[in-house]
Chain A
Amino acid sequence: MIESLAKNLVTLKKDFSKSYDGKSQIQEVIPKSNSELFPIMNSHLDSLHQFATKNPIYYNFFEKKICSVDCVVYEGDINKFWLNSIQHISSKAPFSPTWMMSGYIAALFAKELGYSEVIDIGSGDGRIAFCAKILDMESHSIEIDSMLVDLQKLLSDKLDFHPYCSDAVNFDYDSLHLRHPIFFIGGLAQMGGTALAEGVLQKINSISYLENNSGWVFTGTFSQKYTPDPRNEAGWGTLIAKNNLKSIQTISLPTAWTFHEPDPTPYIFSQSI
């Protein structure tokens, strides 16, 4: 079911991107209500819409039928966050969000794999952690950029996904009392993601009850703009092998940064061997 949700979302995005003639910097689509292509609880879809409506990065929305699905299109702008991030050396990769629906599907897969907590590292506006909360998982959202954490605080009043303003590499994970967590690493391997993942892996491996008990989700790319990893896995193969992890499954989903590209973003789910 999750694979077909992901496939349907990619098809929806392809259809939408062909017909979209707006000028917004970022844009995304959320189905209005459940349908054959998106058999999702309406209360969950409502939560996604509430997150988008409340989120100041979106300045406009309108309804549109795409692939015979009634959807709401959200148009947004994240330039001021980009400008802030380049002024401060704190952030390695500028903020660019995954789609809300992609965050939801990725969190849904994490839940199906049996994980109890989602830890969103380099979480931007905290949408993956928010999606995990919709699915009744515990979640924590770690972001180094204080401007983005302020945004997360604004968005976490109803569903508290626990935003923390911290460098994820120095964060005290033991204090969260995690049971069976999965870590989402924001940022492509080639955009500072490797260093971030290595740092967090090192921290987690130093906590005995988490070392072989944690899942990892890496944000990949097959874009020819980047040098491919010799062990593939959309840029993460070397890190996965070096840290004795194995890839369980890759799910490809739309993101803001691949909106104008033919291929979606591969999310590589992995765990200890």
Chain B
Amino acid sequence: MSSAEDISQMFRSEYLKLQNKIDAANAETDMSVHEIIETYYQVMNVSSMATMLKQQTESNELLDQIQETERLISKKFNSILHPKIMANLSAAIQEMTKTLQSENSTENSKEQIESTAKLFEELRQKMSTKEFIEQYDAGISHD
């Protein structure tokens, strides 16, 4: 069984990981699908921990940390970074779709077709990432 101090340290460590991810994401103009997924998972991970610990702890220090975390998620992530990621993804999907629609595949070589297929794969990844993010968005809209 972990002590209250261990739990507090663990939560602090996850909070710092999240803060680093948010700072890194803010500094980047074009996040990769992998970076986006990692950031959202960390947000959900820390949010779940905060919800659970809030009900269990009596430590004022931990409650303060939880409040700080909730502020970080609400003010920096939900209000700024999350809408920015959604907008960037939508724009990238629109742009890629337009490019791929204008491709004339009928006269392409085997190599060209297989190279374009990679772009289609990338488009599919971006679209499923957007779906995942939209689910997160629906979740925070109902909070």
Say if the beta carbon of A23 comes within 8 Å of chain B. Answer: yes
B101 and A83: CB pair below 8 A?
yes
CB-based nearest B residue for A80? B105
Q: How large is the interface on B (under 10, 10 to 19, 20 to 34, 35 or more residues)?
A: 10 to 19
Say if the beta carbon of A56 comes within 8 Å of chain B. Answer: yes
Distance A75 CA – B114 CA, assembled complex (angstroms): 10
B120 and A23: CB pair below 8 A?
no
Interface string of A51-77 (1 = CB under 8 A from B): 000001001100000000000000101
Contact of B105 among A23, A75, A77, A82 (CB under 8 A): A77
How far, in Å, is B96 (CB) from chain A's closest CB?
10
Say if the beta carbon of A202 comes within 8 Å of chain B. Answer: no
Residues of A contacting B123 in the complex (Cβ-Cβ under 8 angstroms): 83
CB-based nearest B residue for A86? B127
12 contacts between A and B (CB under 8 A): A23-B114, A24-B114, A24-B117, A56-B106, A59-B110, A60-B110, A77-B113, A77-B117, A79-B100, A80-B100, A83-B100, A87-B97
Chain B contacts with A in 108-141, Cβ cutoff 8 A = 108, 110, 113-114, 116-117, 120, 123, 127
Residues of A contacting B101 in the complex (Cβ-Cβ under 8 angstroms): 83, 87
Q: How large is the interface on A (under 10, 10 to 19, 20 to 34, 35 or more residues)?
A: 10 to 19
Residues of A contacting B110 in the complex (Cβ-Cβ under 8 angstroms): 59-60, 75
CB-based nearest B residue for A60? B110
Distance A80 CA – B127 CA, assembled complex (angstroms): 16
B117 and A82: CB pair below 8 A?
no
Distance A83 CA – B101 CA, assembled complex (angstroms): 8
Chain A contacts with B in 29-48, Cβ cutoff 8 A = none
Residues of A contacting B116 in the complex (Cβ-Cβ under 8 angstroms): 79
Residues of A contacting B105 in the complex (Cβ-Cβ under 8 angstroms): 77, 79-80
**By CB atoms of chain B within 10 A, which of A24, A75, A77, A86 has the most?**
A77
Residues of A contacting B113 in the complex (Cβ-Cβ under 8 angstroms): 59, 77
B114 and A83: CB pair below 8 A?
no
Residues of A contacting B120 in the complex (Cβ-Cβ under 8 angstroms): 25, 79, 82-83
Distance A70 CA – B113 CA, assembled complex (angstroms): 27
CB-based nearest A residue for B101? A83
Distance A86 CA – B101 CA, assembled complex (angstroms): 12
A23 and B106: CB pair below 8 A?
no
Distance A39 CA – B86 CA, assembled complex (angstroms): 56
Distance A59 CA – B117 CA, assembled complex (angstroms): 13
Distance A77 CA – B105 CA, assembled complex (angstroms): 10
Given A56-B106, A60-B110, A80-B100, 9 more A-B residue pairs with CB atoms under 8 Å apart are: A23-B117, A24-B117, A25-B117, A25-B120, A75-B110, A79-B100, A79-B116, A82-B120, A83-B101
B117 and A79: CB pair below 8 A?
yes
Distance A79 CA – B120 CA, assembled complex (angstroms): 7
Contact of B97 among A24, A60, A83 (CB under 8 A): A83
Distance A77 CA – B101 CA, assembled complex (angstroms): 14
**By CB atoms of chain B within 10 A, which of A60, A83, A86 has the most?**
A83
Distance A139 CA – B106 CA, assembled complex (angstroms): 29
Distance A80 CA – B114 CA, assembled complex (angstroms): 13
**By CB atoms of chain A within 10 A, which of B97, B114, B123 has the most?**
B114
Distance A60 CA – B111 CA, assembled complex (angstroms): 11
Residues of A contacting B100 in the complex (Cβ-Cβ under 8 angstroms): 79-80, 83
